[in-house]
Amino acid sequence: MEFTTKAGSPERIAAGCVAVGVFEQRKLTPAAESLDRAARGHLRDVLKRGDMDGRAGATRVLYDVPHLRCERVLLVGLGRESEFGAKQYRDALRTAVTAVADTGARDAHLCLPELHVAGRDLEWKLRHAAIVAADALYRFEETKSKKSPARKLKSITFATPARSAAADRGLAQGRAIAAGMAVARDLGNLPANICTPAYLAAQARQLAREWRLRASVLGTRDMQRLGMGALLAVAKGSRQPPKLIVLRYDGAGRGVKPVVLVGKGITFDTGGISLKPAAEMDEMKFDMCGAASVLGTLRAVAEMKLACNVVGIVPASENMPGGAATKPGDVVTTMSGQTVEILNTDAEGRLVLCDALSYAERFKPQAVVDIATLTGACVIALGNVATGLFSNRDTLAEELLESGADAWDRAWRLPLWDDYQEQLKSPFADVANIGGRPAGSVTAACFLSRFAEAYEWAHLDIAGTAWVSGKNKGATGRPVPLLATFLIGRAAK
Ligand code: BES
Ligand code: MN
Ligand code: ZN
């Protein structure tokens, strides 16, 4: 889909569809007002008949509106004007794009960015317009033999009050972030028989070629040499060799320390010998969504040409039961030298991450953020709305929360207090890999914190936000918007 901006009023637009908003109680927005005037009151006549009251989510397509050059007018309900904010703006965009794509229009002119959204500027409105539109139009059909017919809709123009560099910048950022989300969604949606650790490595190399990034991939032997006993312990039960993928973007001078993103890349999590129950186990193909978000974010950052350095690290492995698999009670030595008693082989995410976090030290990072579908407990705590956030620095935590709020890809902070470390005590090793039922997400983060003492670090638990279950099952592309927004901020510093 092509996205552009266009300044000026909508009444002379000759597009296949012009979309304008209507607030509750049939109040026309300025763009709708202009169309109505040009059409000599036709819109108001329609509203009077009671077919569109402006309720949020309502749409109405009008054909052959007199004196207008467009083929269709789409009325989009916006709800109450007094309640119109970021969420309502994004919902209205999604509704409009979905409704337009359902018509035969080949191009659309959306007037929604003219609306006032409290606390948000034009750049924000355009950024979100591109992200929401692309997100709404996303389809995953790589694994279907019959593809749905190509969309008639080829381009969307977003109306702006005047020509504006900020609007164009916002749109460009939105395009890049949307493309990064699509990368993350595609990788997440692919089944685990296709998306293996080797496949992820090949995709990283492909991204490197397309976006002038640098990719390198460590194999089993390299991991042995580095002493990554925890990562190797997870991979032992699988026939698929593990990979440690490093993807680098250099957008600032060599003296600028990089931000390191570490993404959990378990391409399938059976639980290992601590086998998971059968129900919904297919969803454990999404256990590499942290990795996918790292690759997607690097693509977005490269497209935006941000003035920062970013290193993406993906420890990729399957977690399988097998004759050689790690057993409960096994003790392994991590790259950091700390020993871990693996009491539950299903707590494998923290095992692959801990060695990746130690590996991150060599990049002398300004900050490290890991992203992981780490705990079912996080889904219980925060549901599918907020990502769990943990950090060893308040400033970094605030910055990430702020980025998530701006990107409408929100996180919520949970504590990382020392008091919880008690639960990880082991009689046989320096630390156990599980901390019991209470505060499962916190003890998982506490485990990771022991390997992240050398730098400013944050951990995002995306177990509830990386994909949706049910009839619309699929990867969401989160938290690419949060991460990209965070890096836009870091690049500006
Ligand atoms: N990948 C899972 C976490 C998960 C489960 C995410 C369900 C989304 C939905 C992780 O590897 C895992 O199995 N965690 C265990 C940890 C436990 C054994 C301490 C969990 O959450 O049950
Ligand atoms: Mn697991
Ligand atoms: Zn897992």
CB of residue 290 inside a 6 A radius of ligand 1: no
Domain identity same for 473 and 414? yes
With 0.95 as the threshold, say if the pTM is over it. yes
Ligand 1, residue 266: give the atom nearest the CA. Answer: 1
Domain identity same for 216 and 317? yes
CATH of the domain at 256: 3.40.630.10
CB of residue 411 inside a 6 A radius of ligand 1: no
Mean pLDDT of all residues in the chain?
98
pLDDT interval class at 206 (50, 70, 90): very high
Inside any domain, residue 215:
yes
Domain identity same for 88 and 188? no
Inside any domain, residue 481:
yes
pLDDT of residue 453: 98
Q: Over the stretch 349-362, which tens digit does the pLDDT of each residue have?
A: 999 999 999 999 99
Of 133, 160, 187, the domain-final residue: 160
Inside any domain, residue 165:
no
Note down the domain range covering 264: 179-492
CATH of the domain at 62: 3.40.220.10
CB of residue 399 inside a 6 A radius of ligand 1: no
Domain identity same for 363 and 403? yes
Considering every ligand atom, which ligand is closest to the CA of 270? 2
* Closest-CA residue to 126 (of 93, 84, 83, 95): 93
If one residue of 326, 346, 384 were mutated to test the ligand 1 pocket, choosing by the most ligand atoms within 8 A of its CB, it would be 346
Domain identity same for 183 and 53? no
pLDDT of residue 293: 99
If one residue of 268, 317, 375 were mutated to test the ligand 1 pocket, choosing by the most ligand atoms within 8 A of its CB, it would be 375
Give mean pLDDT, residues 151-157: 98
CB of residue 465 inside a 6 A radius of ligand 1: no
Give mean pLDDT, residues 278-306: 99
Considering every ligand atom, which ligand is closest to the CA of 374? 1
Inside any domain, residue 212:
yes
Ligand 1, residue 344: give the atom nearest the CA. Answer: 18
pLDDT at 144 over 90: yes
Number of domains making up the chain: 2
pLDDT of residue 306: 98
- Give Rg (Cα) of the chain: 24
Domain identity same for 68 and 114? yes
Residue 488 Cα to ligand 3 middle (Å): 30
Inside any domain, residue 168:
no
Domain identity same for 82 and 122? yes
pLDDT of residue 8: 86
C-alpha span between 265 and 454 (Å, rounded):
23
* Closest-CA residue to 439 (of 424, 455, 452, 457): 424
Inside any domain, residue 12:
yes
Domain identity same for 313 and 218? yes
Residue 107 Cα to ligand 2 middle (Å): 46
pLDDT at 274 over 90: yes
CB 113, CB 160: distance < 8 Å:
yes
Considering every ligand atom, which ligand is closest to the CA of 463? 1
CB of residue 312 inside a 6 A radius of ligand 1: no
Domain identity same for 378 and 250? yes
CB of residue 346 inside a 6 A radius of ligand 1: yes
Ligand 1, residue 276: give the atom nearest the CA. Answer: 13
The set of catalytic residues is 276, 350
Backbone angles phi, psi at 380, to 5 degrees: -65, -40
Collapsing DSSP states into helix, strand and coil, what is residue 89?
A: helix
Inside any domain, residue 471:
yes
pLDDT of residue 431: 99
Inside any domain, residue 173:
no
Domain identity same for 183 and 147? no
The rounded percent of the chain whose pLDDT value lies above 90 is: 99
Q: Over the stretch 378-419, which tens digit does the pLDDT of each residue have?
A: 999 999 999 999 999 999 999 999 999 999 999 999 999 999
C-alpha span between 260 and 454 (Å, rounded):
13
CB of residue 352 inside a 6 A radius of ligand 1: no
Please give the sequence-ordered ranges of beta strands (E in DSSP) within 161-263, or none if there are none.
214-218, 243-250, 259-263
C-alpha span between 386 and 374 (Å, rounded):
14
Amino acid symbol at 486: F
| 212-244 per-residue burial string, b: 16 or more CB within 10 A, e: under 16 | ebebebbeeeebeebbbbbbbbbbbbbebbbbb
pLDDT of residue 275: 98
Name the token pair of 298.
């690097």
Residue 276 Cα to ligand 2 middle (Å): 8
Domain identity same for 413 and 487? yes
Ligand 1, residue 434: give the atom nearest the CA. Answer: 19
pLDDT at 46 over 90: yes
Closest C-alpha residue for ligand 1 atom 9: 376
Ligand 1, residue 319: give the atom nearest the CA. Answer: 11
CB of residue 443 inside a 6 A radius of ligand 1: no
CB 167, CB 13: distance < 8 Å:
no
Domain identity same for 206 and 326? yes
CB 376, CB 469: distance < 8 Å:
no
